[in-house]
Amino acid sequence: MKARIGIIGTGWVGTSVAFSTLLAGHAGELWLHDQRADVAEGEAMDLADGAAFYPRCAVRAVTLEQMREAEIVVLAAGRNGRPQESRLDLLRDNARIASSIGSVLAGSNAIVLVVTNPVDVLTRVVAQASGLPLERVIGTGTLLDTARLRERLARQLSLSTQSVHAQVVGEHGDSSVMLWSGARVGGTALRDWPGWKAADEASLALQVRRAAYEVIRRKGATNHAIGLVTAELIGCLVNDERRLLPVSRVQNGACGIHGVALSLPAVVGMGGAAQVVEPALDAAERDALRASAAVLGAAFDALSG
């Protein structure tokens, strides 16, 4: 199915999402919106000029109200993080933007994909402001963290990334939880892999958590990898792939977590992320997940403080 995909925010991240989505061929129509109307129109014109090189898709700039007619709306509006700034430091500025956009989308039939950071708290903000069903407000969450973990594990093991299966859950940020106990290389537990040292886990986890900061320090923003991640998530939705992915949504009891948006594995298909699947956790991972939920709950509560 080719869908109407709307992207709100045409900065670094929004344009990377647009580019990756066009190349993947998921959109029949791609709609762009930005508070800087000329920028959105210019990006639409630039992308449309490349139509000979991606599957057929009509690209144009639209108003925010028109986004209500899209099947999937990607929220990429907001400012970027600054060097040494945590994602939660972005909260107040971007929560105001996310809340106003969520209000506009109230009552629509869209699935909303939140990309703007801090993505977990903003996923909850959008869910509350829009009143949409919880399964239809999805944050990219730890999909990118999971990709980073797999890449670094594969590099250390001298294997292809596709042969490494590991997940990150919880916050997309400093309290993220690496599920080492369930990590696999092919069909073998990572901790049983010849030469693997459990002592390496802490340094690899730090690399994953620091990855965005290192990119931002060098080039000012992260955009290409999250563009690919978001396009992959869009494909799962429009093609009803029902893939199990670590995405963020407001949780309703999974792993004992209520009312907080964070990442746990969920079945992603045409209806959104309706079925959350509790991963196997050892005691340390369960404690770390609860701590991550507490961090995110406190961050949301701070908005009204």
DSSP 123-157: HHHHHHHH---GGGEEE-TTHHHHHHHHHHHHHHH
**Segment 269-290 mean pLDDT:** 97
Residue % of the chain over a pLDDT of 70: 96
CA contacts within 13 A on the Cβ side of 4? 12
User: How far, CA to CA in Å, does 229 sit from each of 14, 24, 86, 133?
Assistant: 12, 11, 21, 23
Nearest-angstrom CA–CA distance, 145 and 163: 17
Q: What is the pLDDT of residue 90?
A: 73
Q: What is the mean pLDDT of the chain?
A: 95
Q: Which amino acid makes up residue 195?
A: G
Contact yes or no for 27/5 (Cβ under 8 A):
yes
Task: Give the strand pairing for 243-252 and 188-189.
Answer: unpaired
Domain locations in the chain as residue ranges: 3-139, 143-302
Nearest-angstrom CA–CA distance, 142 and 87: 13
Nearest-angstrom CA–CA distance, 166 and 154: 11
Catalytic residue among 33, 165, 172, 224: 172
Q: What is the pLDDT of residue 79?
A: 81
* For residue 301, pLDDT beyond 70: yes
- The fold for domain 3-139 equals Rossmann fold (3.40.50)
Strand, helix or coil for residue 25: coil
Task: Transcribe 230-247 into DSSP letters.
Answer: HHHHHHHHHTT--EEEEE
Number of Cβ within 10 Å of residue 249's Cβ equals 28
Q: Which amino acid makes up residue 284?
A: A
**Segment 194-209 mean pLDDT:** 94
For domain 143-302, is the CATH number 1.10.3210.10? Answer: no
Confidence band (pLDDT; 50, 70, 90) for 166? very high
Confidence band (pLDDT; 50, 70, 90) for 2? confident
Contact yes or no for 47/18 (Cβ under 8 A):
yes
Q: What is the pLDDT of residue 86?
A: 67
User: How far, CA to CA in Å, does 266 sit from each of 125, 225, 243?
Assistant: 20, 21, 8
- Residues comprising the chain, all counted: 305
Tokens 């060097």, residue? 83
| pTM for this prediction | 0.95
Nearest CA to 235 among 79, 93, 24? 24
198 Cβ partners below 8 Å, 6+ apart? 180, 191
For residue 172, indicate whether it is catalytic: yes
**Segment 1-15 mean pLDDT:** 93
Contact yes or no for 141/134 (Cβ under 8 A):
no
**Partners of residue 188 on adjacent β-strands:** 185
**b/e string for 150-173 if b means 16 or more Cβ within 10 A?**
bbbbbeebeeeeeebebbbbbbbb
Nearest-angstrom CA–CA distance, 272 and 111: 7
* Dihedral sign for Cα atoms in the order 225, 250, 135, 34: negative
* For residue 83, pLDDT beyond 80: no
Confidence band (pLDDT; 50, 70, 90) for 305? low
**Segment 126-153 mean pLDDT:** 98
